[in-house]
């Protein structure tokens, strides 16, 4: 086909939450019954319209398919799964008369419904975004449901904007899916590719009919070596998929984007395929080199879309280097375009909204809107020559120089302390000796505990907002938090939990709370980024050397301990997670930064011990998330990440019981790293996957304490006592009871009190009943 011209500059996706979290507010109001469906539709349409207007204002083209339509009410993977009819059998009743699933059905899949747990949720590549895992089996009734895509395309066209619909590509959709419950042993979702392709072809035909000139298919699976399918099989699948889709009778031009890393030989496959544009992540991936003649010939007829503006962080970066990287590709393909390396969904909307950031720091930054403007600048430079954008390039370079020399970026005292570390600082005494030293904790068999947070009530959040706005003073805020801590402690005593927590009511977020108290970080006012569904976080900006000016959690933990005879577990966020969920400086290796955070936490642990806290949990839910997608990079990562955790905890006395907690990921591939953390007890998400991870841990020879989650806290569903007991019995079959803990999958901050109390009562009841049956055996 003769392709329409690809836009000179584009982005792979844009934040959809809204600059004031309009999407969050709309869907949560809908779920709470405060607005009806028509109002929900009205508000989401308004948000999309505002987004289009903004992107055009920032320099993207109105009528050249430069604007991606990357909207999703909950999740883009779920939207694509629904567009191809991949609805799990257990949710078949959600299909409407024409077989599609409407927005209510979509929310039911995402959030579960009575008696039916939701789709599993897990991390999207190495990001803090969570997608819903499609369930695919040989019987999955695929069918094209283009209505939503077409309606949104028409909505934009009605405003005179020619958008570029975005879908997750067929290879990635299947590579990220899990086998449906009823699939036979050994079935792999990618086996369903042949049946799925005609459905994608149908979607493309319908979009072409509606007038779409280009469609973007995201195939990040090609950039990952960490999926269940081998890179070779993924490439083979991509070759087949695009041979079929590329020769479909009626279709828009195809832009295959491959964000999150380099695709290596995947480029040969896409170059050979009958598609019109290929997007490369040139921030994480390499410039193509050593290409053979066939690949060169394939590229000659295509557009190469150079992803040189980093979609993953908020640094303004080296714009001149980005330009040169893109320009180096000139002549390699039929034409060249500029893009972001990934969707901008991982960064906040607009730096201009941040009035309280230090202006010097702000001059080093670029949020989504500034990155769109960077794309437009670079595209102009490619078209009109480098000299036409010389002043923008020079300004960005000057900001980089300013940043390198600014006070706080390199603090001698922090660097000297790091340089003086020795191996001994990274190790505690042997585990067996620690078990001995901890016997006087007097814990029962199968001790019960929670992961840290209790429900974050509206009252707490409002109080924090009032404190920030000056309507509530420090003393009033402290009194409220202490009142909440006391309530949570009493509740846990009544429920009969063995190891108590203070409930984390003082924390806006488990990373931001620490970032606000550590030197080297800045926080934003409006820098929200979608984490999953309607939930957002405000990643902090780690810009300088990190140190701890004062204790951060000791006051709250000591207060909670003073209220009870039981052990109170201190609660910290680990160095890897603090890095993973912040925007981290890019001017030194992550390992160096992680060790600085590790030292600050080490001091906090010493202060908690001095305050009489005997059990301390250091959460590392992001340990798996940061694992590099390329295997060659993984050993170095595992080395520094495990090292930073051990540095944080290595000073703890043998009698102090160190816990860690992991969630939101499949941990099979980092089992050795979990062992390497050498925590006395590891609590780990397990309920949704029915304890699979316990088997993995057993196989790996893991012989420390373990608390596989027996209550899935991601859904408002209250598990029955029998259900919890059954999960516990599975765990007891794999792990000696002497090492087993009983706890939920994760913290309870997103839950309401009613379901929390009921679920914890069942958890304690189930633990008691299993304890009794063990005693009888
Ligand atoms: C454990 N998880 C976390 C991840 N990343 C983090 N950085 N933090 C995490 O905890 N990644 C993996 C998972 C993802 N899970 C979640 C779970 C829950 C949320 C969540 O609930 N987010 C909240 C925002 C939390 C927050 O920062 N709250 C602040 C600000 C509160 C606020 O919005 N205030 C209002 C005013 C008050 C009012 O009237 O109610 C306002 O500003 O408008 C606080 O508590 O002070 C969310 O609402 O989405 C995220 C990730
Ligand atoms: N301590 C944290 C861990 C979440 S991953 C909490 O309970 O919310
Ligand atoms: Zn967790």
What integer pLDDT is reported at residue 130 of this predicted model? 94
CA distance 531 to 545: 27
Q: Answer yes or no: is 734 a known binding residue.
A: no
What would the mean pLDDT of 287-309 be, rounded to a whole number?
94
If you ran DSSP here, which 8-state letter would residue 133 be given? P
Q: Which residues does a 6 A CB cutoff place in the pocket of ligand 1?
A: 128, 456, 458, 461-462, 464-465, 508-511, 531, 535-538, 581, 621, 664, 750
What integer pLDDT is reported at residue 12 of this predicted model? 98
What would the mean pLDDT of 18-35 be, rounded to a whole number?
97
The continuous run of DSSP H or E covering 592 comes out as: helix 590-610
Cβ–ligand 2 distance for 622 under 6 Å, the answer no
Give the model confidence (pLDDT) of 170-193 as tens digits: 999 999 999 999 999 999 999 999
Categorize the per-residue pLDDT at 391 as very low, low, confident or very high, splitting at 50, 70 and 90.
Answer: very high
If you ran DSSP here, which 8-state letter would residue 315 be given? B
What integer pLDDT is reported at residue 747 of this predicted model? 97
Compute the half-sphere exposure of residue 515: CA atoms within 13 Å on the CB side of its CA.
Answer: 25
Q: Are 727 and 691 in contact (CB under 8 A)?
A: yes
Answer yes or no: is pLDDT of 303 > 80: yes
Categorize the per-residue pLDDT at 116 as very low, low, confident or very high, splitting at 50, 70 and 90.
Answer: confident
The CA 415 to ligand 2 mean position distance, Å, reads 30
Helix (H, G, I), strand (E, B) or coil at 652: coil
The DSSP bridge partners found for residue 547 are 519
Q: Answer yes or no: is 453 a known binding residue.
A: yes
CA 79 to chain centre: 18
Query: For residue 535, which atom of ligand 1 is closest to its CA?
Result: 49
Strands 277-281 and 178-179: unpaired
The DSSP bridge partners found for residue 542 are 521, 584
CA distance 80 to 77: 5
What integer pLDDT is reported at residue 290 of this predicted model? 86
Answer yes or no: is pLDDT of 659 > 80: yes
Categorize the per-residue pLDDT at 18 as very low, low, confident or very high, splitting at 50, 70 and 90.
Answer: very high
ipTM above 0.90, yes or no: yes
Tokens for 199, please give them: 């459905």
Higher-pLDDT residue of 257 and 717 is 257
Answer yes or no: is pLDDT of 665 > 80: no
CA distance 303 to 326: 13
Higher-pLDDT residue of 644 and 663 is 644
Q: 76-83 vs 103-111: helix axis angle to the nearest 10?
A: 120
Give the model confidence (pLDDT) of 45-103 as tens digits: 999 999 999 999 999 999 999 999 999 999 999 999 999 999 999 999 999 999 999 99
| CA-based torsion, 640, 642, 648, 652: positive or negative | negative
Strands (E), 246-366: 253-258, 277-281, 303-309, 335-340
Q: Are 175 and 231 in contact (CB under 8 A)?
A: no
CB atoms within 10 A of CB 399: 21
Vertex 388, ends 382 and 394: CA angle to 5°? 100
The DSSP bridge partners found for residue 572 are 618
Q: Are 259 and 342 in contact (CB under 8 A)?
A: yes
Give the model confidence (pLDDT) of 198-250 as tens digits: 999 999 999 999 999 999 999 999 999 989 999 999 999 999 999 999 999 89
SS3 content of the chain, % helix, strand, coil (to 5): 45, 15, 40
Which residues neighbour 246 within 8 Å (Cβ) at sequence distance 6 or greater? 254, 273, 274, 275
User: Which of the residue ranges 187-191, 546-550, 621-625 would you say has the lowest mean pLDDT?
Assistant: 621-625
Ligand 1 mutation pick, 29, 509, 624, max ligand atoms within 8 A of CB: 509
Q: Are 369 and 58 in contact (CB under 8 A)?
A: yes
What would the mean pLDDT of 306-324 be, rounded to a whole number?
98
Query: Mean pLDDT for the chain?
Result: 96
Cβ–ligand 2 distance for 453 under 6 Å, the answer yes
Answer yes or no: is pLDDT of 143 > 80: yes
What would the mean pLDDT of 588-595 be, rounded to a whole number?
97
| CA-based torsion, 187, 193, 194, 198: positive or negative | positive
CA distance 127 to 714: 19
Q: Answer yes or no: is 528 a known binding residue.
A: no
CA distance 510 to 581: 9
CA distance 242 to 248: 9
Ligand whose nearest atom lies closest to the CA of 714: 1
Sheet holding 253-258, edge to edge: 67-69, 163-168, 214-218, 253-258, 277-281, 303-309, 335-340
Answer yes or no: is pLDDT of 670 > 90: no
The residues assigned a catalytic role are: 714
What integer pLDDT is reported at residue 742 of this predicted model? 97
Longest dimension (CA), the chain: 83
């Amino acid at each position: 086909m003769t392709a329409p011209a690809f836009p000179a500059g584009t982005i792979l996706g844009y934040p959809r939450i809204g600059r004031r979290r309009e999407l969050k507010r709309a869907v949560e109001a809908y779920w709470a019954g405060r607005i009806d469906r028509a109002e929900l539709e009205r508000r989401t349409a308004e948000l999309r319209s505002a987004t289009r207007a903004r992107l055009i204002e920032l320099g993207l083209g109105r009528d050249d398919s430069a604007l991606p339509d990357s909207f999703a009410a909950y999740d883009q993977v779920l939207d694509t799964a629904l567009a191809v009819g991949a609805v799990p059998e257990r949710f078949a009743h959600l299909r409407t008369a024409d077989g599609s699933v409407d927005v209510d059905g979509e929310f039911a899949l995402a959030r579960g419904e009575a008696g039916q747990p939701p789709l599993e949720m897990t991390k999207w590549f190495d990001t803090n975004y969570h997608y819903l895992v499609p369930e695919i089996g040989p019987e999955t009734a695929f069918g094209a449901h283009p209505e939503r895509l077409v309606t949104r395309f028409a909505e934009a066209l009605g405003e005179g904007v020619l958008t570029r619909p975005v879908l997750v590509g067929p290879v990635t959709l299947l590579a990220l899916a899990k086998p449906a419950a009823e699939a036979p042993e050994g079935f792999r979702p990618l086996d369903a590719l042949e049946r799925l392709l005609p459905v994608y072809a149908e979607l493309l035909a319908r979009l072409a009919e509606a007038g779409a000139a280009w469609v973007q298919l995201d195939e990040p699976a090609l950039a990952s070596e960490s999926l269940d399918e081998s890179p070779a099989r993924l490439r083979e699948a991509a070759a087949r998929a695009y041979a079929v889709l590329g020769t479909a009778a009626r279709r828009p031009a195809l832009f295959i984007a491959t964000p999150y890393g380099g695709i290596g030989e995947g480029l040969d496959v896409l170059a050979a395929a009958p598609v019109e544009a290929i997007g490369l992540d040139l921030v994480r991936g390499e410039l193509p080199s050593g290409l053979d003649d066939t690949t060169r010939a394939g590229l000659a007829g295509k557009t190469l879309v150079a992803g040189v503006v980093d979609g993953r962080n908020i640094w303004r970066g080296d714009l001149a280097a980005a330009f040169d990287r893109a320009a180096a590709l000139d002549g390699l393909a039929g034409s060249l375009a500029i893009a972001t390396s990934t969707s901008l969904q991982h960064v906040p909307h607009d730096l201009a909204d941040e009035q309280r950031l230090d202006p010097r720091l702000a001059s080093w930054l670029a949020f989504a809107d500034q990155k769109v403007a960077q794309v437009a600048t670079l595209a102009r430079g490619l078209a009109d020559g480098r000299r036409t954008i010389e002043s923008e390039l020079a300004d960005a370079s000057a900001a980089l120089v300013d940043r390198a020399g600014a006070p706080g970026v390199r603090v001698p005292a922090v660097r000297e302390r790091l340089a003086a570390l020795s191996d001994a600082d990274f190790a505690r005494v042997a585990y067996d000796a620690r078990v001995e030293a901890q016997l006087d904790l007097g814990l029962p068999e199968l001790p019960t505990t929670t992961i840290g947070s209790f429900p974050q009530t509206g009252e707490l959040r409002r109080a924090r907002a009032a404190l920030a706005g000056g309507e509530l003073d420090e003393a009033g805020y402290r009194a409220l938090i202490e009142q909440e801590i006391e309530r949570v402690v009493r509740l846990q005593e009544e429920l009969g939990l063995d190891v108590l927590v203070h409930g984390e009511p003082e924390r806006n977020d488990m990373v931001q709370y620490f970032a606000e108290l550590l030197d080297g970080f800045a926080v934003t006012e409006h820098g929200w980024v979608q984490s999953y569904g309607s939930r957002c976080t405000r990643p902090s900006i780690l810009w300088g050397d990190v140190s701890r000016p004062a204790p951060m959690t000791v006051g709250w933990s000591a207060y909670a301990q003073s209220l009870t005879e039981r052990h109170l577990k201190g609660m910290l966020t680990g160095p890897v997670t603090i890095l993973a969920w912040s925007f981290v400086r890019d001017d030194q290796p992550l390992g160096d930064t992680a060790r600085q955070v590790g030292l600050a936490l080490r001091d906090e642990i010493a202060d908690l011990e001095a305050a009489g806290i005997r059990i301390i949990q250091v959460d590392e839910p992001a340990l798996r998330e940061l694992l590099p997608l390329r295997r060659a990079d993984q050993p170095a990562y595992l080395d520094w990440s495990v090292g930073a955790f051990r540095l944080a905890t290595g000073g703890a006395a043998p009698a102090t019981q160190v816990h860690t907690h992991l969630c939101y990921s499949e941990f099979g591939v980092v089992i050795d790293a979990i062992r390497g953390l050498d925590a006395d007890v590891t609590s780990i998400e397990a309920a949704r996957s029915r304890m699979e991870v316990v088997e993995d841990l057993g196989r790996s020879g893991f012989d420390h304490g373990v608390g596989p989650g027996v209550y899935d806290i991601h859904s408002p569903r209250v598990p029955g006592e029998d259900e919890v007991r059954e999960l516990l019995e599975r765990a007891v079959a794999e792990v000696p009871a002497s090492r087993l803990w009983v706890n939920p999958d994760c913290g309870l901050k997103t839950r309401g009190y009613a379901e929390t109390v009921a679920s914890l009562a069942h958890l304690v009841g189930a633990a008691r009943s299993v304890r009794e049956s063990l005693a009888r055996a």
